[in-house]
Every structure is written in structure tokens, then in C-alpha cells.
């Protein structure tokens, strides 16, 4: 277990799961818990046992199926109901009996919520807090208290908000967490309030920040600077409304910017992988521009940046991406200069030999193609094929004589698409025809059919993504279509781009390059 002097507390499985679009199964929750433990958080809040069958099952299965190396499993629940002793409250019993060594209780700290939401008196609310905390402590469980709406309550009635903190501490709560439940605070306000509460009480303080002002990470770090030693976060900032403080941004900032030793050795380098793995489980595409772990977090596009990075990457990067398991990426676009091209070529494993003339030609060609609608930022495979061609080493596994598609809509309502391709493969003229679910699928099948005998490993290559964007034309109803095709061979993925006056033409260009690059990855000899 990690040092208890500072808590990294994750609530992805409870608060993060409240994000719109997330619906975790018990198996999902167990898988995410293992990833969070691997990353090295101190506490994993698993949910609210007794509140719903899924969370109850999670805690039951966690006893046998979760072997946590770093984290302590934590249950979430509320203080007892008004007028009922904690020992007799069924939901308190569910917390007591769930097997979790730590319980996080939520309590009202805004007197308006006490009277309007709980419909009880401020004194009874304090009794509910004291009774529940002390009961669970007597059961041998560690207790943290989340002060819901604390900052709003402190602004409205600071004396009562402080009394909630003192009552919880006196009853045995290890940490009192100040919650910005509505997410409306700014860093300067967080600093002031946390400082005042720390000076007015003996409590160990934590922070729980929602991101409604876009300041959840900044507010969390401000609270730590003011004396909080417990931070509540969610993986990738998942959470209700716009989300919570992002676990990965907060921990990376504390470790890399504040020098705190919060994670097991080597864990920070796993951060990008863990972030993406959790995104896959919740079935939400990773945020490309997420700090530290996003694919664009260390991506450089401007030629001026590339020239400086060629001398020293630290000139345009706030930290080494390898420290968080990420990579620096060079983007090639119409902003690219020779330095951008050279660095990107090295990233792709193509040696341009420092030839300034060659670099200039490539840069000019890229700029001209992007002017006509191409975009190579997300199409590294197409760029690599272009670089090899400019280097005098074009990749050719087949020559295209012609291709066509026919779409037929029958009277019975059935739509059929047929494609025919005519190729030259290894000196042989091949004609193949295939039907498909639309013209692109039919062309893909026909292309594979024409070459599968010569290149059998082509069966491992699959199309994984297909994106179409209609670009504005130069006049009237003119338009240019850009197509991005994602492919995979089970060992990695790549993207190609095609541009044309219609979607089929653009798709064919991207498809032809996708198959070509796939064969290159398979190691086939050209001919």
C-alpha cells in the first residue's frame, strides 16, 4: 500500500459512471478497478452497495475477484435517515456489511439543502453525521465524509458549514472532503475557502471538484496548494454533466509539476495506456486533445515549432511525453516546413538523408495536395507512401487498369451493388467482380478477390473505420469529398486518405493505399 500522507481517490466507478452515455456492467467495473489499481491510486470508490443490484453485486464479487495491490476498495453511501439510529438504518447496514474497509459518506453541508432537500433541522443533520460516522468507525471501517455543496453552503452560511466539518472530525472521520458539487467555483475562491477551513478546524481536508466552469483540475490543484491532502478524481474526467477533475491530469501535475511521490514506481509511464484502456471499456472514444494522454497532447504542426523541436524538443513541450507513456508526433500539413517533414519521416521510419532539395519538394507537394483537399494529419500511411515515392522507392504491389461500380435497386426493394476491378498483379492481368453492401464494400471485396491467391496474408487486413467529409467547392454547388479509411491487421492500425470529386472516387484512392500499405506491413516483395 502507498503512503497514507496523501490520498489519490478515484470515483470513476461511482461518480464517473454518472456521465451521459456510460452504462457499466459489473464485469466492466471489475476491469476498470484492476486498471486503476495497476495505475496506483490509493482508493477506488466502487459504488453504493444496497442502492442498486449492480453495485451490490460488484462488492460481492470484489471480495473474491479483486486482488488489489495498491488501492483500498471504498463504498459510498449517505448518512442515516432522520429519526432512525444508524445501527437500525438498512442502507447503513449495507455499507457496514459490504466488505469494504473504507466508507465514503455523503452529507449535507449547506443549511438550505438540509431544510429543503432532507426536510430536517440543522441540528438533526449534525446528529445524523455524528451517529453514522461513529457507528461505522466502531465497526472497524475507515470513514471519509463528502460535504456535498460545501462551497455554496460556506458562502451562504459559513458557521454551519464549518460545524459540519468539526462534527464529522470529532466523530472519527479521517478526511472531510469539501465538494464543489455544482462545479461553479474558480481557483482563487477554492484557495481562499480551503485555507479558511484549514485554519478554523482540525480536520484533514480533501477536495472533490466538478468541471462545470472548466476549472476542476485547476480547482483541485489550488486546494492542494491550500492544504488539502486528499483529491477525488475520475479517469478521463468522466462524470455527471461536463464531468469531474481528470485523474490523469491531476496526478501528472502533482508528480511532474509539484514533485510529489504519489504513485508506485513506473506507474506514471503507464498513464496513457490505462487512460485509453478505460475509454475502450466505457465505449467512449479517447479525447484526442486531453492533456498528457491525448494523441494530440504532444503533436506539433507549425513549421516554426518543428524547427525548434529539431534542436531541442523541450523548447515546445512542457514535459517529456515518455514520462506519461505518450509520444511526440509531428503533423504534416500545409503549415509544414522542411523540419516538419524531416522529423515526421524519421517518426515513420523513412530516411530522407537530410536532402534539403528532397525535403523542399515533399513540403511543396504536401502543401499543394492539402490545398486540393487532402489532409495528412491523421493519415500517416498515405504520407509514408508519398515519402517513399518522392525518395524514388514507390510501393507497388499491383497496377490498376480500371475499376467500376454498379448500383441496382430492384422492384422488390432489394439494393445490390457490384464492383469490377482490372489489375496487373505479378505480371498477370486479373479481373475480379464482387457484390457488397454499398460501393466501397464491393470495391474492397473485388480488390481482395483479385489478389488473395498471390497475397494470402491480405486476409488479415480489415477495414476498421470509414469517414467522409464534404469540403466546400470553389463555386456554386461544386464540392470535394475527402475520405479517411482506417485499417488493421490485428497487430496495429493505419489510416489512409483519398480526395475526389465524388465519394466513390475518393474512397477508391484511400482503399487502394490501405491495401498497399497493408501488404507493405506484411513484408511482401513488390512486383
Concatenate the DSSP letters of all residues of 307-319 into one string.
HHHHH-GGGG-SS
| Pairing between β-strand 428-436 and β-strand 415-425 as defined by DSSP bridges | antiparallel
The per-residue pLDDT for range 89-117, each reduced to its tens digit, is 999 999 999 989 999 999 998 889 888 88
CB distance 339 to 303 below 8 Å: yes
For 13, 56, 58, 286, 402, the CA distances from 98, given in Å and listed in that order, are 16, 8, 10, 33, 67
Q: According to the model, what pLDDT value does residue 357 have?
A: 84
pLDDT band at 475 (very low <50, low <70, confident <90, very high): very low
User: Measured between alpha carbons, how far is 407 from 201 in angstroms, rounded to an integer?
Assistant: 75
Structure confidence at residue 334 as a pLDDT band (50, 70, 90) = very low
Provide the pLDDT for residue 476: 41
With bands split at pLDDT 50, 70 and 90, how would you rate the model's confidence at 444? very high
Per-residue pLDDT at 338: 64
Q: What is the pLDDT of residue 347?
A: 78
The confidence score (pLDDT) of residue 419 equals 94
Sign of torsion over alpha carbons 341, 345, 346, 350: negative
Q: Give me the pLDDT at residue 283, please.
A: 81
Q: Provide the β-strand partners of residue 405.
A: 419
Q: How confident is the model at residue 472 (pLDDT cuts 50, 70, 90)?
A: low
Which pLDDT belongs to residue 286?
A: 82
In 262-402, alpha helices (H): 271-282, 303-311, 338-348, 356-371, 380-390
* pLDDT score for 470: 81
Tell me the mean pLDDT in the region 487-507: 89
pLDDT digits (tens, 9 = 90+) for 218-234: 999 999 999 999 999 99
pTM: 0.68
pLDDT confidence band for 491 (50 / 70 / 90):
confident
Whether the predicted pLDDT of 11 surpasses 70: yes
> Residue 200 — very low, low, confident or very high, per pLDDT cuts 50/70/90?
very high
Domains within the chain, CATH numbers bracketed: 7-282 (3.20.20.70), 299-371 (no CATH), 399-522 (3.30.160.270)
In angstroms, rounded to a whole number, what is the distance separating the alpha carbons of residues 56 and 69? 22
Confidence of residue 469 (pLDDT cuts 50, 70, 90): confident
What was the pLDDT predicted at 307?
Answer: 55
Q: What does the pLDDT read at residue 474?
A: 46
Local confidence band at 525 (pLDDT 50, 70, 90 cut-offs): confident
Give me the chain's average pLDDT, please: 88
The fraction of the chain above a pLDDT of 90, given in percent, is 55
Alpha carbon 387 to its chain's center: 31
- Confidence bin at 313 (pLDDT 50/70/90): low
Amino acid at each position: 500500500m502507498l503512503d497514507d500522507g496523501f490520498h489519490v481517490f478515484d470515483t470513476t466507478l461511482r461518480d464517473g459512471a454518472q456521465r451521459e452515455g456510460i452504462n457499466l456492467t459489473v464485469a466492466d467495473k471489475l476491469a476498470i478497478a484492476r486498471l486503476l489499481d495497476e495505475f496506483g491510486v490509493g482508493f477506488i470508490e466502487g459504488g453504493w452497495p444496497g442502492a442498486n443490484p449492480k453495485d451490490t453485486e460488484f462488492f460481492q464479487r470484489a471480495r473474491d475477484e479483486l486482488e488489489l495491490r495498491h488501492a483500498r476498495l471504498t463504498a459510498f453511501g449517505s448518512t442515516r435517515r432522520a429519526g432512525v439510529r444508524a445501527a437500525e438504518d438498512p442502507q447503513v447496514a449495507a455499507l457496514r456489511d459490504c466488505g469494504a474497509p473504507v466508507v465514503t459518506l455523503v452529507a449535507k453541508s449547506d443549511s438550505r439543502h438540509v431544510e429543503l432537500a432532507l426536510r430536517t433541522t440543522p441540528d438533526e443533520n449534525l446528529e445524523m453525521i455524528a451517529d453514522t460516522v461513529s457507528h461505522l468507525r466502531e465497526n472497524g471501517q475507515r470513514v471519509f465524509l463528502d460535504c456535498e455543496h460545501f462551497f455554496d453552503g460556506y458562502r451562504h452560511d459559513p458557521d454551519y458549514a464549518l460545524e459540519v466539518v468539526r462534527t464529522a472530525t470529532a466523530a472519527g472521520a479521517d478526511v472531510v472532503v469539501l465538494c464543489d458539487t455544482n462545479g461553479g467555483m474558480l481557483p482563487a475562491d477554492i484557495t481562499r475557502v480551503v485555507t479558511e477551513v484549514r485554519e478554523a478546524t482540525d480536520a484533514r481536508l480533501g477536495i472533490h471538484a466538478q468541471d462545470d466552469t472548466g476549472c476542476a483540475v485547476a480547482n483541485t490543484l489550488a486546494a492542494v496548494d491550500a492544504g488539502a491532502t486528499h483529491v477525488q478524481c475520475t479517469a478521463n474526467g468522466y462524470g455527471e454533466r461536463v464531468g469531474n477533475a481528470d485523474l490523469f491530469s491531476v496526478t501528472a501535475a502533482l508528480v511532474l509539476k509539484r514533485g510529489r511521490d504519489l504513485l508506485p514506481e513506473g506507474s506514471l509511464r503507464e498513464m496513457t495506456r490505462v487512460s485509453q484502456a478505460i475509454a475502450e471499456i466505457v465505449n467512449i472514444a479517447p479525447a484526442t486533445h486531453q492533456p498528457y494522454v491525448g494523441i494530440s497532447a504532444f503533436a506539433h504542426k507549425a513549421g516554426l515549432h518543428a524547427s525548434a523541436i529539431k534542436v531541442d524538443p523541450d523548447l515546445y513541450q512542457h514535459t517529456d511525453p515518455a514520462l506519461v507513456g505518450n509520444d511526440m508526433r509531428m503533423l504534416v500539413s500545409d503549415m509544414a516546413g522542411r523540419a516538419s517533414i524531416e522529423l515526421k519521416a524519421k517518426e515513420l521510419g523513412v530516411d530522407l538523408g537530410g536532402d534539403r532539395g528532397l525535403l523542399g519538394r515533399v513540403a511543396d507537394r504536401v502543401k499543394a495536395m492539402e490545398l486540393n483537399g487532402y489532409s495528412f494529419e491523421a493519415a500517416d500511411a498515405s504520407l509514408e507512401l508519398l515519402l517513399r515515392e518522392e525518395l524514388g522507392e514507390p510501393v507497388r504491389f499491383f497496377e490498376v487498369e480500371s475499376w467500376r461500380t454498379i448500383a441496382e435497386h430492384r422492384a422488390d426493394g432489394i439494393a445490390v451493388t457490384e464492383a469490377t476491378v482490372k489489375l496487373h498483379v505479378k505480371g498477370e492481368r486479373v479481373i475480379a467482380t464482387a457484390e457488397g453492401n454499398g460501393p466501397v464494400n464491393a470495391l474492397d471485396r473485388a480488390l481482395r478477390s483479385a489478389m488473395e491467391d498471390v497475397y494470402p496474408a491480405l486476409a488479415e487486413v480489415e477495414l476498421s473505420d470509414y469517414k467522409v467529409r464534404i469540403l466546400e467547392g470553389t463555386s456554386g454547388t461544386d464540392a470535394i469529398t475527402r475520405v479517411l479509411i482506417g485499417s488493421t491487421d490485428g497487430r496495429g492500425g493505419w489510416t489512409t486518405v483519398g480526395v475526389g470529386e465524388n465519394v466513390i472516387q475518393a474512397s477508391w484512392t484511400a482503399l487502394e493505399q490501405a491495401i498497399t500499405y497493408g501488404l507493405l506491413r506484411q513484408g511482401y516483395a513488390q512486383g
